[in-house]
A and B are shown apart, each in its own frame.
Chain A
Amino acid sequence: MNDLRLDWMNALLRKRGADEASRENLRAFAAEHGIEGDDLDAIEAVGAERFLVYRSLVHNRMRNTIRDFIERAVARLGIRRLKADFADWMEEVAAHSPYLRDVPAEFVAWAAPRWAADDSVPDYLIDLARHELLEYDILNDHRGGESPTGRELALDKPLRFDGAARLMSYAYAVHKMSQDAEDRDIPEQIPTRLLVYRDPSNKVRYLELTPLAHAVLEQLIEHQQPVAEGLRKACAALGEPLDDQRLGTAATLLADLAERGVLLGAEA
């Protein structure tokens, strides 16, 4: 069941330019959204500025959460640009998760294509924002910390990995950038592949991967392939033969991940 007054206030909070429109003629702006009669008179009597307090409260809370989560990316993007992007996001999409902590990731997912298409935005900014979100995401992932399967690795079985582990690919080495939001260092443009996981003491760890290691883990973690099939597909994707050297490399990688508590054993 709709309520026109709530619908109108929703528009006031979300629509781009609703602040100017309501200041210019609050009655007309409300009437455009179907408000009439006594409700229209009551809204006009309140005045635009009081309604816009709510717009400020809503925007500030979410925008500040975004700033807190991707502080270095926002410092490089600039507050004015963030405000403009945020206003567009609020009108077009807005947040959908009931958890405030999800707002930054929802915003970045929407903003990334427009930043990528805009020459005025540094090319590395999307990677940096994704990377800043990643640490919080891994730290708070409801998955992770599962028990080992107790089953030995077998070539014909898929493997189980810690639920919070993620494979990341960047075009820039953003994981090596300064943590200081005041710095304006520019990351090296180099294909970067990481395995990111939460260790038993709840610290986020980053493991740089070779192209082969990344391709193998992509098959084993994301596509849940049996080990032999995963190795075959990984080498095929790279155009490389699956020879003894690569088998040895993969075995060393899996042993290392088991030691780190990321690889939990074979699936049944």
Chain B
Amino acid sequence: MQSQPPTGVGLGLRGAFLRDIVRGDADGKVAFLEVAPENYMHRGGRSPKRLATLAERFPIITHGLMMSLGGTDPFRDEYFDELKSFLDRYGAPWHSDHICWSGMDGAMLHDLLPIPFTTQTAKRVASRIREASDRLERPMAIENISWYLQLGKSNLDEAEFITEVVERADCSLLLDVNNVFVNASNHGFEAQAWIDAIPLQRVVQLHIAGHEPWDDTLLVDTHGADVREEVRDLMSYVIERTGPKPVLLERDSNIPPLADLLEEAASLQVIYDEALQKHAREASA
């Protein structure tokens, strides 16, 4: 049975602080945990046991890394079979992955690579999302990535492309507001206008994170820094419009002590709660 989706600010579970969370350091301090199934699939020993323990104490949301929804290789049966078993076990209300490609000709490149923003690509990606959803027997949500270039000539902008994909696939959207900020900064568009252009009614979850400069002209989505004020504002902007959603704080490099991350999550929760109040006022007006 699939669980009801949590709302509020959660934390991405990482090996660096897994033991601290098992010990109870985050109990009552985050609304949920998000896990990357690839970190636990086809794996035994201590980590899966710890995850099983945590699943009894926290709502779990799953977010994958390697589905390569924008790729051209056929899906791997073994990967999907294992993923489905994992999702069945943890009762995830939906499963999410990225609008990107990650490998070709059987080789895995272990990164989130950009796809052309074209109608033809949107059709292909939407078809693969529907296939993934059928294989996993649950709804899919797709995440907008940070992209650092346009791969060839596009006939759509990113917001149009994402809209085309989610409507063709009839899937949900995991809106990463840090990626919106990074893309807006790198490509010179207005982040709030971009958010206004996507189908917000399809958003089921948000991601929020920090980024770092690659050089003077490029920000990179490293998840290696605290969340910037402008990105917090984007989260607030979205929650004011969508109402309650799970918001996931991601940190993958330069990981501080768990206490610091929990403090950051708590500060985000304050902003989230204020945004919800605005949403409620708007709804009742």
Contacts and interface: CB of A to CB of B under 8 A. Distances in A.
B189 interface: no
B72 A97 contact: no
Contacts of B151: 5-6, 9, 43
Contact of B152 (A42, A54, A94, A144): A42
B45 A141 contact: yes
Contacts of B121: 3
Contacts of B38: 98-100
A256 B9 CA distance: 51
Interface stretch (B24-32, B111-119, B162-170, B262-270): B111-119
A252 to B, nearest CB: 29
B148 A6 contact: no
B124 A1 contact: yes
B153 A57 contact: no
B108 A140 contact: no
Interface string B196-214: 0000000000000000001
A139 B45 contact: yes
B281 interface: no
The A interface is mostly helix, strand or loop, or mixed, namely helix
A38 interface: yes
Interface-central residue, B41, B76, B110, by most chain A CB under 10 Å: B110
Given A50-B218, A58-B110, A139-B45, A6 B150 contact: no
Interface string B139-168: 000000000111111100000000000000
Contacts of A37: 153
A210 interface: no
Contact of B76 (A5, A13, A61, A98): A98
Contacts of B150: 42, 46
A64 to B, nearest CB: 10
Q: Interface extent on B, as a size class?
A: 35 or more
Given A53-B214, A53-B218, A99-B38, A2 B72 contact: yes
Contacts, number: 112
A127 to B, nearest CB: 24
Contact of A103 (B110, B124, B218): B110
A198 B45 CA distance: 8
B152 A1 contact: no
A51 interface: yes
B107 A98 contact: no
Nearest to A98: B66
Contacts of B149: 46, 50-51, 54
Interface string A236-260: 0000000000000000000000000
Interface string A1-28: 1110111011001100000000000000
Contact of B111 (A54, A96, A141): A54
A10 B105 contact: yes
Q: Interface extent on A, as a size class?
A: 35 or more
A209 interface: no
Interface string B67-84: 000111000100100000
B44 interface: yes
A128 B52 CA distance: 34
B153 A41 contact: yes
A135 B218 CA distance: 39
Contacts of B114: 54
A81 interface: no
A202 interface: yes
Nearest to A139: B45
A62 B107 CA distance: 13
B257 interface: no
A143 interface: yes
Contacts of B19: none
B44 A58 contact: no
Contacts of B105: 10
B109 A96 contact: no
Nearest to B153: A38
Contacts of A99: 38, 41-43, 66
Contacts of B113: 9, 13, 54, 58
Given A38-B153, A43-B151, A58-B109, 6 more contacts: A5-B116, A9-B151, A39-B116, A39-B152, A43-B152, A99-B66
Nearest 6 A-B pairs (CB), nearest first?
A: A38-B153, A39-B152, A94-B107, A142-B44, A98-B66, A5-B152
26 contacts: A1-B72, A6-B71, A6-B151, A10-B104, A13-B113, A14-B107, A41-B153, A46-B149, A53-B220, A54-B111, A54-B148, A57-B111, A57-B220, A58-B110, A94-B107, A94-B108, A94-B109, A98-B76, A99-B41, A99-B42, A100-B110, A103-B110, A139-B45, A142-B42, A143-B44, A144-B44
